[in-house]
């Protein structure tokens, strides 16, 4: 059968889609890009915000409306997903070899997304995800090491660790830090990138990972949401401004040229102008260059949905735009500082005499010459294309 996949949202969804696609091919199915060419359309949805969920539901409705006669499955992080979709898709994948059922090498991506954990034990006031994905569940430690060996043997030079809440990874007594160290010991010639990290849980271990291991990509993306103590408390987050400052200071000391990114919710109920400015000043203080800023959206079934002090939507949107604009300006300044310095680039595509990919610091780089996809290329930065926010080498 011909299968088309459409994926919304985070790296965890991408990892799950990548694994599904590889297993589908191993089972004898064909992947196609256009839904019109497919017999089966699989939509892996996202519910992190109300808008994201609406976009997914709209697309699913359109797929069913305009592609009658085709099977359309809604799965992933979506409250309205098909209850029987996983079982039906599992039957489609049944002919896959036993090894593929355990783990199939990703086919489409230049970087290997490795799912190590799913679900979340936290009860953040704004978040619907634990209700959709359930409590934290970790993949077996030894199984992940074997999967990592297969990824490296297949020629990947970057493994991206993904999960719903990575710091909750536990396999027997082994933590996320133990897992990273063990995967690095599998071989040479590759690096590890951490997915989004929850601050306030294992900050010291995370800092030590960066300090000890140059093969851990020098980029730390935090599931921040706010830097205001009052808002963090209302959100039921596991950190405060003091801990956040200590984490960022530790990261800067461990890897001075590393970059920081964050997810931020703007306009949470009760967020005053000063609360917002505390977050804005915090992001500026530590030079956060990649910001995913979202206007707060009420999610039925969450604690925050019933809270008083709702912020008007226009203010939420304006605050998000401000943070994104600030980050863009900081990113350009940081890129300018890289001229004359050296980076290692994981190549994602090559054409017309150039190659493009991402540095360990999660900066987009274009290199002269066509290099093999998935290769790790050492290059010296010669300039910056400010229009596309790309380093040139």
Task: Indicate whether 57 and 205 sit together in one domain.
Answer: no
Q: For the chain, give the percent of residues with pLDDT over 90.
A: 72
In three-state secondary structure terms, 250 is helix
Structural domain ending residue among the three candidates 100, 135, 170:
100
| pLDDT tens per residue across span 76-110 | 776 655 667 777 777 777 776 655 556 667 777 89
237: CATH: 3.80.30.20
Residue 388: in which H helix or E strand, if any? none
Provide the strand spans (E) within the chain. 2-7, 30-31, 40-45, 71-76, 112-115, 117-118, 137-138, 158-162, 170-171, 174-175, 191-194, 219-225, 259-266, 288-295, 342-351, 354-359, 364-368, 376-380, 383-385, 390-392
Task: Indicate whether 191 and 287 sit together in one domain.
Answer: yes
Phi, psi of 7 (to 5 degrees): -120, 125
Task: Indicate whether 81 and 205 sit together in one domain.
Answer: no
Question: 170 lies in which domain range?
Answer: 109-336
In three-state secondary structure terms, 49 is coil
Task: Tell how strand 383-385 and strand 390-392 pair up.
Answer: antiparallel
Find the helix packing angle between 273-285 and 241-254, rounded to 10°: 10
Task: Indicate whether 295 and 253 sit together in one domain.
Answer: yes
Tokens 């400010």, residue located: 386
Q: How many CA atoms lie within 13 A of 267 on its CB side?
A: 20
Lowest mean pLDDT: which of 43-47, 48-52, 191-195, 246-250? 48-52
Tokens 């706010």, residue located: 226
Task: Indicate whether 205 and 265 sit together in one domain.
Answer: yes
Q: Do residues 199 and 288 lie in contact, with contact meaning Cβ atoms separated by under 8 Å?
A: no
SS3 content of the chain, % helix, strand, coil (to 5): 40, 25, 35
Lowest mean pLDDT: which of 89-103, 128-142, 251-265, 305-319? 89-103
Task: Indicate whether 195 and 123 sit together in one domain.
Answer: yes
Q: How far apart are CA 62 and CA 55, in angstroms?
A: 11
Task: Indicate whether 194 and 155 sit together in one domain.
Answer: yes
Q: For residue 268, name the pLDDT band (cuts at 50, 70, 90).
A: very high
CA 309 vs CA 268, 305, 318, 346, 355: distances in Å: 9, 11, 17, 46, 50
41: CATH: 3.40.50
Contacts for 243 with CB less than 8 Å, ≥ 6 apart: 199, 200, 203
Structural domain ending residue among the three candidates 55, 74, 100:
100
Task: Indicate whether 376 and 316 sit together in one domain.
Answer: no
Q: How many domains does the chain have?
A: 3
Structural domain ending residue among the three candidates 313, 336, 359:
336
The mean predicted confidence, pLDDT, of the chain is: 91
Please report the pLDDT score of residue 80 as a whole number.
Answer: 57
Q: How far apart are CA 361 and CA 112, in angstroms?
A: 17
Model pTM greater than 0.85? yes
The pLDDT of residue 9 is above 90: no
Task: Indicate whether 201 and 92 sit together in one domain.
Answer: no
- Tally Cβ neighbours within 10 Å of residue 9: 19
| pLDDT tens per residue across span 346-363 | 999 999 999 999 999 999
Burial category of 301 from C-beta neighbours within 10 Å (exposed 0-12, middle 13-18, buried 19 and up): exposed
Q: How far apart are CA 135 and CA 5, in angstroms?
A: 26
Task: Indicate whether 90 and 228 sit together in one domain.
Answer: no
The pLDDT of residue 224 is above 70: yes
The pLDDT of residue 3 is above 60: yes
The pLDDT of residue 341 is above 80: yes
In three-state secondary structure terms, 386 is coil
Instruction: Give the residue among 367, 371, 370 at the shortest CA–CA distance from 379.
Output: 367
| pLDDT tens per residue across span 140-193 | 999 999 999 999 999 999 999 999 999 999 998 999 999 999 999 999 999 999
Mean pLDDT over 12-22 rounds to 82
The pLDDT of residue 130 is above 80: yes
Q: How far apart are CA 128 and CA 302, in angstroms?
A: 6
Please report the pLDDT score of residue 118 as a whole number.
Answer: 92
Task: Indicate whether 235 and 164 sit together in one domain.
Answer: yes
Q: How far does Cα 11 stand from its chain's mean position?
A: 4
Task: Indicate whether 40 and 94 sit together in one domain.
Answer: yes
Q: How far apart are CA 41 and CA 64, in angstroms?
A: 9
């Amino acid at each position: 059968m011909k299968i088309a996949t459409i994926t919304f949202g985070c790296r965890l969804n991408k990892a799950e889609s990548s694994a599904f696609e590889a297993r589908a091919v191993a089972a004898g199915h064909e992947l196609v890009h256009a839904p019109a060419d497919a017999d089966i359309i699989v939509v892996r949805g996202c519910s992190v915000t109300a808008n994201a969920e609406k976009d997914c539901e709209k697309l699913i409705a359109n797929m069913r409306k305009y592609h009658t006669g085709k099977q359309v499955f809604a799965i992933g992080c979506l409250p309205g997903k098909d209850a029987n979709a996983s079982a039906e898709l599992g039957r489609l994948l049944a002919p896959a070899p036993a090894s593929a059922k355990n783990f199939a090498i990703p086919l489409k991506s230049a970087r290997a997304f490795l799912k190590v954990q799913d679900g979340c034990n936290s009860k953040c006031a704004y978040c619907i995800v634990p209700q959709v994905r359930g409590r934290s569940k970790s993949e077996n430690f030894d199984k992940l090491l074997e999967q990592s060996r297969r990824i490296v043997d297949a020629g990947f030079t970057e493994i991206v660790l993904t999960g719903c809440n990575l710091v909750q990874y536990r396999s027997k007594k082994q933590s996320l830090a133990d897992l990273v160290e063990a995967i690095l010991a599998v071989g040479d010639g590759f690096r590890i990138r951490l997915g989004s990290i929850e601050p306030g849980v294992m900050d010291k271990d995370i800092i030590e990972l960066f300090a000890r291991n140059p093969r851990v990509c020098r980029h730390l993306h935090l599931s921040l949401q706010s830097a205001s103590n009052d808002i963090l408390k209302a959100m039921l987050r596991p950190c405060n401004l003091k801990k956040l400052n200590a984490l960022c200071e530790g990261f800067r000391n461990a890897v001075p040229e590393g970059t920081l990114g964050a997810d931020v919710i703007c306009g949470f109920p009760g967020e005053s102008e000063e609360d917002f400015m505390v977050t804005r000043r915090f992001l500026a203080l530590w030079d956060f260059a990649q910001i995913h800023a979202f206007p707060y959206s009420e999610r039925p079934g969450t604690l925050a949905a019933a809270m008083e002090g709702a912020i008007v939507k226009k203010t939420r949107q304006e605050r998000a735009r401000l943070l994104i604009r600030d980050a863009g300006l900081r990113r350009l300044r940081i890129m300018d500082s890289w001229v004359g310095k050296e980076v290692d680039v994981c190549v994602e595509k090559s054409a017309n005499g150039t190659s493009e990919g991402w540095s360990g610091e999660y900066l987009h780089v274009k290199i002269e010459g066509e290099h093999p996809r998935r290769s790790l290329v050492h290059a010296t930065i010669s300039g910056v294309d400010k229009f596309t926010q790309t380093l040139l080498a």
